[in-house]
Structure 1
Amino acid sequence: MNEYVTVLNEIKKKVQQAQLKTVIAANKHMLFLYWEMGNYILMHQHEQGWGLK
């Protein structure tokens, strides 16, 4: 029974680590997307005068 608990805990640990890596990767990609959108808007504000009227 002790071996079963050990194996089960290892499996839980691996699932939790994978979930954490997934969340970190998703956050990284979303942060880059938001930065890219902001940069795109700033570029058009400067080049085409967006927001002046």
Structure 2
Amino acid sequence: VRPLVEDLHDWLKAERSRMSKHNPVAKAINYMFEEPGRWEAFSKPPVMAV
């Protein structure tokens, strides 16, 4: 799973660089990467209670 998450991270960064800062998708990507910890919280494996 980790390689897929890393590929997604790289793809989002590359796509963001091609977008206008006014693009709503670019704003969402910016939100994901602006605050430290957001991407990590999104990309870490879920913990399931048993």
Q: How high is the TM-score relative to the length of structure 2?
A: 0.38
Higher relative contact order (CA 8 A, sep 6+): 2
With structure 1 as the length reference, what TM-score do the two structures score?
0.36
Q: Is the helix fraction higher in 1 or 2?
A: 1
